[in-house]
Amino acid sequence: MRLSYGMKLEQAQKLIMTPELRQAIMVLQLSAVDLVQYVENVMLENPLLEVTEENTEETEPSKDENDDFTQEWSDYLAECGQVDRSFDRAWNGQEEKERYNLEHFVAQLPTLQDHLYLQMRLSLSDPKDIDVGEFLIGNINDRGYLNISLDEVQKVSGYSEQETERILQVIQSLDPPGVGARDLQECLLIQLDQRGQRTPVLEKIINFFLDDLANGNLLKISTSLGITVQEVQHQTDLIKTLDPIPGRNFSRSGENRYIKPDVVIKKINDEYVILVNDIAVPRLMINSRYQILLNNKQSHCDPGTVQFVQNKMKSALWLIRSIEQRRLTLYRVVNCIVDYQREFLDNGIKSLKPLNLKQIAETAEIHESTVSRAIANKYIQTPQGLFDLKFFFTSGVENVAAGEMVAAESIKQVMKELISSEDPYQPYSDQQLCDTLQSRGVDIARRTVAKYRNEIGIPPMRQRKRYR
């Protein structure tokens, strides 16, 4: 075979991801909270963008001048295939500015370390003890456990292990109960000490049989300790009242402690109204001074300035368009979901239907990938509660009796109700749950029942069983 160089002319079609297209895709995937932050960051880089104000008469050009300018740029970008004229209103209209008040702000909860520092300073007076105490508290993780050994503390502080142990015991006596423990066993025993409920039997169960306790092997524990299984069950109930993660109720740095729904659904006169919750997103417009600058560009501005402003203008218009397109796409997708899941909105989870991206994409006449991006990182507030939008896209199992598919979430809800009403002394096995569901026409296997039970956090029959 002979190798040689040559030139060849070839015509091909390729999809090119322009910066504008990448921005539109990213904006579509952002939640309402993230979109606010993104817009604020872009405004720092683009001087042409500004938030609409209530009173702009003094700074805005005349209406005719503004309309001519906007139409000129809209026509230009439309010819380039970069913007739809239907979005002119995105920068023409004036909307009422959101009024900020103290109700929009919440106090930050103290961290676990802050909580412990305050208590420690009330318990210790010696400056060196306080220094060692602060060092120990600084090495307590968000779960409430000490992440450093006393030997390491001794090397750093120069305190003997006995003195360090004394200060650690002071910290372990603080609130929340169990904080400063080095392992789970110590955490539970500290809490029993503070309650005055520590006994030799409880101590043995915690130190040697926690794994058996988690697996429901109560008979093994009773045999090993020489006590009745009912007594083991009583001690187990007491252990379950203890908190294995004492630091769980304190804030963590950078932690989101709330969810803001991106879409709200309200029922009004037997009809469901969809509200895209983008009130917090700044309403953007083009800065009027730059509009005037471009209108007078030939006589007052150098070419470099004109080019800079034109580039920023394109970016600003694309962002406004992307935000508007995000709102319209999100509305279309949710509208299709509402139509398909009407029974769920009326009756609850048991009426949820199986749904996939393809069904919504065909109904909304958009691509499946667009649907996937539209529902990413977003939550919806419904009359049935707050849900991740992905919650509505669930697989299903055939219902032979009804001749249709049943959503997995509906089956899980039925399983919850069956288990909540079971006899605690004779709980349902996975096979019994399977038989019950099959008797209702649901074609489901036992292993699927076990999978769904694990997903909803319900332990197996052996761990649910009570002893008389």
Q: Domain-by-domain residue ranges, the chain?
A: 19-97+261-369, 112-200, 395-464
pLDDT higher than threshold 70 for residue 97: no
What pLDDT is attached to residue 313?
A: 83
CATH number of 395-464: 1.10.10.60
pLDDT in tens, 194-235: 999 999 999 999 999 999 998 889 999 999 999 999 999 999
Of 14-23, 211-220, 259-268, give the lowest mean pLDDT range: 14-23
| 417 token code pair | 């109700």
Q: At what angle do helices 32-45 and 303-340 cross, to 10 degrees?
A: 170
Q: How confident is the model at residue 64 (pLDDT cuts 50, 70, 90)?
A: low
What pLDDT is attached to residue 16?
A: 65
Dihedral class, residue 457 (left if φ above 0, else alpha if ψ from -120 to 50, else beta)? left
Largest CA distance in the chain: 100
Which helix (H) or strand (E) is 45 found in, with range? helix 32-45
Which helix (H) or strand (E) is 194 found in, with range? helix 184-195
DSSP 287: -
What pLDDT is attached to residue 87?
A: 40
pLDDT in tens, 355-387: 999 999 999 999 998 999 999 889 999 999 999
DSSP 352: P
> What fold is seen in the domain 112-200?
Arc Repressor Mutant, subunit A (1.10.10)
Give me the residue label for tokens 């295939």.
81
Rounded-to-integer distance, Cα 112 and Cα 422, Å: 40
Residues near 447 by beta carbon (within 8 Å), at least 6 away in sequence = none
Rounded-to-integer distance, Cα 44 and Cα 37, Å: 11
